Structure 1
Amino acid sequence: MIRFNSKTIFWSGWAASLVLFLYPFQVQEGLGLGLDKVVHFVIFSALGFYGVKSYREKIYHTLVLLAAYALVIEYTQGHFLPGRTLDWYDALAGIVGLVTVYLHQRAKRK
């Protein structure tokens, strides 16, 4: 039986995000701010939350690696996946989600 602890949720969420981000479907453009930015923010906030919860002793490292993941995913979408485009604002939305988690964790410690 699978135990749903924070590490299981983190790695399952990471795997699901990898499939979602690398699936070669066309994202509809021209929706203003863009639902895709909200999706990136939410996914990376959740990954950051469970990553920090799973690796408390390495909060900074976890968040930096997830920020690098956001950048690599966006680069990969733009250069290697047909029908997908590079949008650095998607990566920025993910990083803003991670910064939000960091600020929340920092405020909790004070």
Structure 2
Amino acid sequence: MIAAALISAAAAGLMVGVAGAASAVSLRSGEGYQGISFDQNETRVLRDLGAGNAIDAVLPQDQVAVYLGDGSIYDSPLPYVDATTQQLIEEAAARGGYMQFDVNDPAIWGSHFDVIQQW
């Protein structure tokens, strides 16, 4: 629930931070998950705020699944991603991409939290 609160707080803070601009933050949900998707501009704001560092401070890393964008510099044959959430946000911003964060029912998805790069 801490992660869900953090994601909600990040969204609220981001909307305040870009006040006056149209916000494209969108909530996502489906069977066994709820999340938030940030557009390209909001992903750059997340990068500038260092939001990835705050996310990593509260998410238990053994309960996080990371989904990389095609051709990510962090892609490796290892069964884990050797990058912080801040680094993933920075890469997405640099590629003109965006970030998504989900909170999952682990009985359905196997992980509690997803960090997703898109471009």
Give TM-score, length-normalised by structure 2: 0.28
Structure with a larger share of its residues in strand: 2
